[in-house]
Chain A
Amino acid sequence: MTLSAEKSGRGRSIGGYLIRMRSLNVFFIFVILFAVFTFLSPGNRFISKDNILIYLATGAEFNIIAVAVGMLMISGEFDLSVGSVLVFCSYTFTQVYASGVHILLAVIITAGAGTILGFINGMITVKARIPSFITTLGAMLLWRGVTLMWSGGEQKGIDLLQHPVMYKLIAGSIGGLIPSQFFWFIGIAVILALIMHYHKVGNWIFTTGDNREAARAMGIRTDRMKVLCFSIVGFAVAVAAVMQIFRAGTFSARAGDGWELKAIAAAVVGGTALTGGIGSMMGVFWGAFVISVIENGLVLLRVPYYWTFTIFGVVIVSTAILSVYIEKRRLLFGAERC
């Protein structure tokens, strides 16, 4: 009986620390990919200043969604509708903006719309007691369908350069160098990480995802936690939608296509369990970077786009296998460090 107690004491060793530091493992994967792309890209273009900046800017849009999805998955739920909510938010933004309201108001309305769609996903899931896989599968089809009908599926230009301050804040750069999107991403990721690992609400979300009955028995409002996570995902998606449309200057009906699975992939690569209760925001942070760096790197290597999927597939399955191995080891070393 003291055997496992002694084992758990081993968490203080360096090896134990590395195993517990899941995010570090993901970070290593990122570094390896970074090095591979640097060496393989023609003229080391991958590491050129231009590419890094493009990567930080476009990657941030996806990364923001991925960290929120990671949080949702820790609470034990999925969201397959992020891509569709994204395109819906994009079109909402163009329409609200076209109606002539102040640009800031248009941004706020879009953020509200995304949050509400996430909230609806959450409420349906917890009140009707259906798996979020089903709820959000429905929402995925619904919101893309609605957006296609509403927009006629056409591209639509939108001139946002006439708002230089907003543009600079959302899609410009700070000091003419680091893209604003990157700061938004870091800001949102840090806030979510503080909530998940340092705030009591984070403990409620972890325990809700891990053992809902236990959490409920201890007086935690598990339904509320889940709805909160869904709403945060909706909000993050809306933020990404606004950024994307500021950067691109056009609405495209294909925006966000396939992002739902990429976001889940980022969370899984980052060490989040599909069953909830396990994960760290730092892990998801680097998981998001891994997924977006693959996409960027393959483009630079001039690998045909279809290969991206193939490589995603390999990366997801191999990291999942690695994950199972690490989780088993981690049992002996103690709780995750972030």
Chain B
Amino acid sequence: MICSTNNPAARRYMWRFSVTMLLYLVFLVIAVWTFVHRHPTGPLAWLLAFLPALAILGQIAAFGLYLGEEKDEFQVALGVKSMLWGIGGTLAVTVTWGFLENFPQLRHLDLILVYPIFCALSGIAYGLLQLRYR
């Protein structure tokens, strides 16, 4: 969401985002491989299923830390605005899709897609705000 890396807070955010993204990929591969090849049950299965989500929670926390650490109030405002557009857009898309699912032709929207939808919409909003305030 934050493209500018010319200040310490933005650089820390990019670092934390990259680490959590890498962890997400690693956890996802481990979880999928284990479920396919080892068929775990009980607490281990719960833990494996939760690991990729943990990395996503880390990403959300990283953005929260950025908003707290960023000294440039205008950049904070940009981040908050783009996040609000992302949240609003995600609510609009998912609730509309939910009602449309009453029609049997429409495939079920997997909850796992909510976060990517939020990221995409927040990213688009951030880009448009950058254009407005350039």
A-B complex is real: no
- Chain A residues within CB distance 8 Å of chain B: none
- Chain B residues within CB distance 8 Å of chain A: none
